[in-house]
Structure 1
Amino acid sequence: MMAQLQRPPPLSDFRRFQTFDVDAARDIVARHFCSHKLERQSSDDRFDACQHRVSGEHVSLNYLRYGGDVTIEPGELTRFFLIQIPLAGAADVTNGCQAVASNSQTASILNPDRHTVMRWHSGCEQLLVQIDRQFVDEVASRVTGMDLGARLRFASEFLLKRPEARQWMRKLWGLVRAAENGELFGSGNSPRQNRLEEELIVSLLGVQENTASALLSRETSQSGSAILKRAVDMIRDRMREDISLIELARHAGTTPRNLQLVFKREMDLTPVQYLQQCRLNLARHILLARNGEISVSDVAELSGHRHLGRFSLAYKKRFGESPKATARSRVFC
């Protein structure tokens, strides 16, 4: 029987290096990512490191393998997020306090401000998506319509079996194929390149749990009402300020009574309730992102709350736990 032909690794026309030398592999990979420790776990297996890479404006796509069983310790990545998707084999990844047993069904996301240690087992091959940290923060701010007040962080375990994750993976493989066909990731970064990079991040924010998930899942109107849009935009822009109903209605171009009716019809909320929801959602993001590095009273102030006691009660009613409990959460640590 004729042997089945195997598809070459992704991005094969963009090979950056192949080497059997550990020190050479460490030095070249460091140029593209960051300085790190790289050690073999066994002298018996075959070390055969190889990297393929294409770079866009804010996103780079990489294929990487080491062949043998290795440990990698980059510490904090600092400038970028790194999504690691095993194509073969498995890896054990620790990012901060989050541990991921990564395989073909489970990818990992490395947050740039958390210490990372990894073990890539023999035969592990991964597709890596490197994304500028500042770009992720900018996209998240545009999507939520507000200054987030703290850097965003993802849950490190990325379960690929979920339908929404599979949809995101289809977007990613579309970028890989476009790069292989010479349509994207060329020498000049086209508007299409930038748009597709942004769409990939917007989709990731909706698919993968992150500190701003409460803000991203907020109630929105589907009617396209101009009155509602003007009011919502003002609330998001000035949620830390005291905004009166009269001021809000004047900005929206209607009367206070009509504005209340529009909010009730489209969102089943009053304008004040919507403002409070936005403030509470922002507070949750800051608490999760800062992991106890900031006091609850400071979080209340940063999210526009004037009374700490009322803030704590409203927060617990909305999220089922106190602000202090969220601050102690280990989900994004």
Structure 2
Amino acid sequence: MLRTARNLPLGDFNCFETFDVDEAREIVARKFCSHRLERMSASDRFNACQNRVEGKRLSLNYIRYGADVTIDPGELSDFYLIQIPIAGTADVQNGTRSVWSSPSTGVVLNPDRNTTMRWHAGCEQVLVQIERSYVAEIATRMTGIGLNAIRFKPGLHMNRGPIAVWTRRLRGLFGAAASGQIFRHPDDPCQRQLEEALVTSLLEVQANTASHFFKEPAAGTAPAILKRAMALINERFDQDISLLDICAFAGTTPRNLQIHFKRELGCSPMEKLQDIRFNFARHLLLSDSGSLSVSEIAEMSGHRHAGRFSQGYKMRFQETPRQTLRRRRFC
């Protein structure tokens, strides 16, 4: 027998329970998006339930359907959806990537990729819905670079290293939300900090199109000269800027700036500029759906010579830009 809503994750925050497929589809669509929901077998017992708490930029959810169902939302458009089974299994297709989802393997649904799912009978999942614009905002704040089209690797292997730590943090949030400690007031500063921490750590531990940016050493508590220099590099990396341009903006000499960069970041200012250009190019190559050519991506990332761009890219990533385009791991 299926458990009642009160005995489930977020049990005091029930949205609905129903035996009616159309009613379940309509109510779930109000919080997520329009979708098709169909039973695979008339003999399965359909018993749908959703519990939900809402924060400022994300929500925590529990959903079950009881029966074997297919769900076709298409593109989610405005939000990422992380799904983690706590019982049962599901087949999930996000873009060209398929994931067999189970209590040890969750899935991150990218909003700009077509999604289809089959939740097998007995599947129960906890879900995190995160605004697409919020992920872009956090990524931009973390790097200082405008990163809009973040795309994650769909498979979330929750027992592996840093992902396991992130999963424990998520379980703690569900527990604290269930007891009423958080998710009470969306504008609470503590709530904002918790949401930021969850999204920040997700960007750091789950492979995505901008992962190379998050592996770069940060300026941290570095001198103001270095911070000003990095602000210019992050803002104008796609333009033709020289060492003297950076020095003039930072208000120092080339020698002094070189010393600060070497001591704090282990590289020269122009090496850092090239790092950012190549990382941004890789982000575009991994996230592009075929609308951009290699030469266009080279230009957009500040490289003015296609041949030198390809050579430098291969030295850095051990594959050519065209090989990265063909693989498209996150499409």
Length-normalised TM-score, structure 2: 0.94
Alpha-carbon contact 2:136-2:150 (below 8 Å) kept? yes
Instruction: Report Cα offsets for 1:9-41 as digits up to 9, x if no partner.
Output: 110000110011111111111111111111111
Misfit runs of 4+, over 6 Å: none
- TM alignment of 1:154-173, pairs within 5 A: 154-173=152-171
In the aligned structure 1, how far is the partner of 2:186 from the partner of 2:70? Answer: 36
User: Which residue number corresponds to residue 60 of structure 1?
Assistant: 59
Q: 1:278 aligns with which of 276, 279, 294?
A: 276
User: Which residue number corresponds to residue 3 of structure 1?
Assistant: none
User: Which residue number corresponds to residue 75 of structure 1?
Assistant: 74
Instruction: Report Cα offsets for 1:275-326 as digits up to 9, x if no partner.
Output: 0011000010011111322111211121111111111111111111111111
> What SS does the corresponding residue of 1:266 show, helix, strand or coil?
helix
User: Identical aligned pairs, as a percentage?
Assistant: 55
> What SS does the corresponding residue of 2:34 show, helix, strand or coil?
coil
TM-aligned CA distance change 1:311 to 1:188, over 3 Å: closer
The answer to whether structure 1 residue 251 and structure 2 residue 263 are counterparts is no
Structure 1's unaligned 5+ residue stretches are 1-6
Instruction: Report Cα offsets for 1:44-94 as digits up to 9, x if no partner.
Output: 221111000111111011000011111111111111100000101111100
The answer to whether structure 1 residue 47 and structure 2 residue 51 are counterparts is no
> What SS does the corresponding residue of 1:130 show, helix, strand or coil?
strand
- TM alignment of 1:102-251, pairs within 5 A: 102-148=101-147, 150-221=148-219, 224-251=222-249
Aligned length: 326
1:29 maps to amino acid: V
User: Which residue number corresponds to residue 19 of structure 2?
Assistant: 20
2:173 maps to amino acid: L
In the aligned structure 2, how far is the partner of 1:307 from the partner of 1:182? Answer: 57
Structure 2's unaligned 5+ residue stretches are 1-5
> What SS does the corresponding residue of 1:18 show, helix, strand or coil?
strand
The answer to whether structure 1 residue 308 and structure 2 residue 300 are counterparts is no
**46-55 vs 177-186, greater mean Cα deviation:** 177-186
In the aligned structure 2, how far is the partner of 1:189 from the partner of 1:52? Answer: 21
In the aligned structure 1, how far is the partner of 2:186 from the partner of 2:237? Answer: 40
Instruction: Report Cα offsets for 1:196-240 as digits up to 9, x if no partner.
Output: 111110000001000001111123356623332222222112111
Instruction: Report Cα offsets for 1:236-259 as digits up to 9, x if no partner.
Output: 121112222223223333321121
Q: 2:286 aligns with which of 285, 288, 306?
A: 288
In the aligned structure 2, how far is the partner of 1:245 from the partner of 1:131? Answer: 40
In the aligned structure 2, how far is the partner of 1:158 from the partner of 1:188? Answer: 27
**246-255 vs 158-167, greater mean Cα deviation:** 246-255
In the aligned structure 2, how far is the partner of 1:281 from the partner of 1:179? Answer: 37
In the aligned structure 1, how far is the partner of 2:254 from the partner of 2:325? Answer: 37
In the aligned structure 2, how far is the partner of 1:250 from the partner of 1:286? Answer: 30
2:120 maps to amino acid: H
Alpha-carbon contact 2:56-2:186 (below 8 Å) kept? no
User: Which residue number corresponds to residue 93 of structure 1?
Assistant: 92
